[in-house]
Structure 1
């Protein structure tokens, strides 16, 4: 009997050791939907994975490229992803529709989008006013690129519907649409803008929110948040520890970006994201570095600016009673 007990205890110990030696069995699984994974605005999401920062937090993360911000919104609402890597303004838009989502780590302190004229447009376009009746590309209807276009049209005295919007995606498909003259202009995100410029030469840019100076000019503010992680308030309430781990991993990636060169960052990313031109990709990353947050914090004035801009062209947002404090939270971030 003693020998049997000894063997049984030894088996239990060995089983326990075997379980501890396989961390995957204890990892928390999280699915993140990205509104266009190759786009630089979402670089920290992928970089945190490439550097192993999610795994360091005991997370088994599945990244899904959903091509556009509007698709990411639908995925979060439908429950096919746990977290969206998308733009903050969607949290405001969704609250106006009675749906509660909250951003919990800010990656982009700038929107990093630009309204670019196609070098092959058949129309003469020298100003935003010339876009009336034109075909303008956005990543997808209801995306933040679509919001940017509508805001600019209204700001320049037109209706939000005065330009015809076409979904062209955000990466190679957007570049192709511009090169082939399928659209007269497009709201684009890097590295697509840099790739188009390399192939087509100097571009006419009607509005540029990729720099602090550009954001000040277009929105009249110093801070305007871009890409964030957001999730339903219900998911956050039941996954607070997981959310804190995600935020910590992303903040580590943001700090790594500011501590390393554009070349080093490019080398850490999937090679195919360079669009066949590594040199242009490095240049685009170098230009984009200033757009990334250093600490993941959402500034209150930035959230207010996003709400004000949406209210300019979205009557649903303008009429709704928006509680901005519930559209974002800095409580999940690492202690500063």
Structure 2
């Protein structure tokens, strides 16, 4: 990703290495810029993925600056790694999957979603045109299935789909396929028969006829059919102690995201694409617009957690995450998210 042209923006994108070298100060401690503006570092679990589009779009629209907060966005392709940076105190927030808040609570840590960006995963199980006998999740047995990384949200969702359709997890092979070009390479060279991924990767695969969508978790309809309910995914989550100690700052950041979600709901995919950095579309702007259009149904319009969503996520994790399974009865879902900042109208 080319990021040097953004260096002078009000909200800068900085690599993880810069954050690590910035000093030993724990970023869960509130900081301000020279003019007294609150500073917030947010790690995004794949900043150019459509599922996390609201983070960069909020910057591009100028809503962080309008809210009076200096936000630094940084990129970490793996959601699990992004989570680790928050726990280590290198950042104050993460734009990643809500399910990490549940997993971390099972480990004795309090993390909560303060703005819910998506009500469904925004992902799809795609299968290679070369794969034979793979027409539904019932056919997962004996297949090589790609996930972002073991223990990731894509991994747990794949396990859930398999088991729900009568295929034990041990009967298929899990392959770390990453995302983007690495995922596409695995799909085309036989490294995987199918796998769970997001747009714009999905759009590239289908447009080039390298594969097809088998199970679509980008829409409410598809998600309910596959998982039995809504599965809130991309969100802005933060350490509970930081949230409690910095409500004014958190309210400003969450409020900026809410403005963005409303903006997305009232503008076309082409208009959204036009606001994003030009290099996000690569050499095919039309394909990027299509990927936004295909995935936009996943977004909330108000940043509020959808009713019943946390229960679905807990059901999935409580079945396949050993950590959550061992502590499922102790999980307090009310501590994994808050609507205080999104329902307040800030």
Question: Taking structure 1 as the reference length, what is the TM-score of the superposition?
Answer: 0.87
Answer yes or no: is 1:185 the counterpart of 2:194: yes
Contact 2:140 2:167 in 1 (8 A): no
Query: SS of the counterpart of 1:32?
Result: strand
Q: Distance in 2 between matches of 1:269 and 1:204?
A: 27
**Higher Cα Rg: structure 1 or 2?**
1
Q: Distance in 1 between matches of 2:240 and 2:297?
A: 30
Q: Distance in 1 between matches of 2:160 and 2:279?
A: 33
Q: Distance in 2 between matches of 1:132 and 1:91?
A: 31
Aligned position for 1:317: 324
> Which of these residues, 121, 127, 131, is aligned with residue 117 of structure 1?
127
Q: Distance in 2 between matches of 1:288 and 1:127?
A: 21
Query: SS of the counterpart of 2:308?
Result: helix
> Which of these residues, 206, 219, 224, is aligned with residue 216 of structure 1?
224
Unmatched runs of 5 consecutive residues or more in structure 1: 1-22
Q: Distance in 1 between matches of 2:179 and 2:70?
A: 27
Return closer, same or farther for 1:140/1:305 CA change in 2, 3 Å cut-off. Answer: same
Q: Distance in 2 between matches of 1:276 and 1:255?
A: 29
Q: Distance in 1 between matches of 2:80 and 2:152?
A: 5
Aligned position for 1:246: 253
Answer yes or no: is 1:176 the counterpart of 2:221: no
> Which of these residues, 60, 73, 77, is aligned with residue 87 of structure 2?
77
Query: SS of the counterpart of 1:110?
Result: coil
Q: Deviations over 1:85-107 (max 9, x none)?
A: 00111111111122211111000
Q: Distance in 2 between matches of 1:96 and 1:159?
A: 24
Q: Distance in 2 between matches of 1:105 and 1:333?
A: 6
As a proportion of its length, which structure holds more helix?
1
Return closer, same or farther for 1:247/1:116 CA change in 2, 3 Å cut-off. Answer: same
Query: SS of the counterpart of 1:273?
Result: helix
Contact 1:104 1:228 in 2 (8 A): yes
> Which of these residues, 285, 290, 315, is aligned with residue 278 of structure 1?
285
Answer yes or no: is 1:29 the counterpart of 2:39: yes
Return closer, same or farther for 1:228/1:168 CA change in 2, 3 Å cut-off. Answer: same
Unmatched runs of 5 consecutive residues or more in structure 2: 1-32
Aligned position for 1:155: 164
Q: Distance in 2 between matches of 1:239 and 1:29?
A: 11
In the TM superposition, residue 158 of structure 1 has moved relative to its aligned partner by 2.9
Aligned-pair Cα RMSD in Å: 1.8
Return closer, same or farther for 1:238/1:305 CA change in 2, 3 Å cut-off. Answer: same
Query: SS of the counterpart of 2:191?
Result: coil
Contact 1:140 1:146 in 2 (8 A): yes
Contact 1:69 1:140 in 2 (8 A): no
In the TM superposition, residue 24 of structure 1 has moved relative to its aligned partner by 5.9
Q: Distance in 1 between matches of 2:185 and 2:285?
A: 18
Return closer, same or farther for 1:81/1:120 CA change in 2, 3 Å cut-off. Answer: farther
Aligned position for 1:20: none
Query: SS of the counterpart of 1:136?
Result: strand
Return closer, same or farther for 1:272/1:176 CA change in 2, 3 Å cut-off. Answer: farther
**How many residues matched?**
311
Q: Deviations over 1:7-34 (max 9, x none)?
A: xxxxxxxxxxxxxxxx862222211111
Contact 1:154 1:160 in 2 (8 A): yes
Q: Distance in 1 between matches of 2:197 and 2:136?
A: 17
Q: Distance in 1 between matches of 2:50 and 2:312?
A: 22
